[in-house]
Amino acid sequence: DAKTTQPPSMDCAEGRAANLPCNHSTISGNEYVYWYRQIHSQGPQYIIHGLKNNETNEMASLIITEDRKSSTLILPHATLRDTAVYYCIVSGGGGSNYKLTFGKGTLLTVNP
Amino acid sequence: EAGVAQSPRYKIIEKRQSVAFWCNPISGHATLYWYQQILGQGPKLLIQFQNNGVVDDSQLPKDRFSAERLKGVDSTLKIQPAKLEDSAVYLCASSLDPAGQYGYTFGSGTRLTVV
């Protein structure tokens, strides 16, 4: 079962920052938060992941609250090509049995 | 580095026929996953391998689905016989370590249509 809650859809104006929220209130101490996105007809694309600290890469920033019960993915300057379904995922398992369990994600639509 | 390779890209078969999908993970990635993604839904895990051993196949419909990773590198997923509800995209993913500290990489998937 998915352990994250995301809004089903969001809109963003081109050039503006897109802030995608995610709740993961049951996250365990050793579980990572991952963000992937999926553009129609393609496989999920890795964006960013983190454990406790905020993370930034060339695509996005990940802000994780101090209690780790929620996070926000920030696309600093959204473009039309960022229109996709964004999945927030908490890796679950232990030992060799870690896996990504996808929920329904957030459909982000970037408008001109 | 090369990504996760999957083939074929598309497949159309009639119900009750058999079909096989192939996946070649990123070199050195010990953990391999097969996911099924039905239109409009998020991917659902079917099976997870660690090297050539099965770690989790609890969601695999074993009466018709089978998967193997004989040499701990590439993998095949087979459906026999196929049903209409098997129409989906089948995604393969791999990771360097099971905990995914370095992330998980997905292939482009195989789109199966059962008619």
- Which residues does chain A have with pLDDT short of 70? 1-2, 92-97
Would the pLDDT of B100 be above 90? no
Query: How many other CB atoms are there within 10 angstroms of residue A41's CB atom?
Result: 10
In DSSP terms, B45 is beta-bridged to: B35
Enumerate the residues of chain A whose CB falls inside 8 A of the CB of residue B101.
32
B24 CA: distance to closest CA in chain A (Å): 15
Would you state the pLDDT for residue B37? 95
Judge whether A43 is closer than 8 Å to chain B, CB to CB: yes
Rounded to an integer, the average pLDDT of B88-107 is 88
Q: Out of A42, A45, A102, name the one closest to residue B42 (CB).
A: A102
Q: Is the CB of A87 less than 8 angstroms away from the CB of B42? A: yes
pLDDT digits (tens, 9 = 90+) for B40-52: 899 999 999 999 8
Would you state the pLDDT for residue A94? 64
DSSP sequence for A7-57: -SEEEEETTS-EEEEEE-TT--TTPPEEEEEE-TTS--EEEEEESSS-EE-
Would you state the pLDDT for residue A41? 78
Residues of chain B with pLDDT > 90, as a percent, come to 81
Distance CA B4, CA B26 (A): 5
Would you state the pLDDT for residue A95? 64
Provide the pLDDT confidence category of residue B69 given band limits of 50, 70 and 90: very high
Enumerate the residues of chain B whose CB falls inside 8 A of the CB of residue A99.
33, 45, 48, 56
Enumerate the residues of chain A whose CB falls inside 8 A of the CB of residue B44.
102
Q: Is the CB of A43 less than 8 angstroms away from the CB of B56? A: no
| Chains A & B: contacts with CB separation below 8 Å | 66
Rounded to an integer, the average pLDDT of B56-69 is 95
Q: Are the beta carbons of B1 and B27 closer than 8 angstroms? A: yes
Would you state the pLDDT for residue B81? 97
Give the best residue of B6, B33, B44, B48 to mutate against chain A (max A CB count within 10 A).
B48
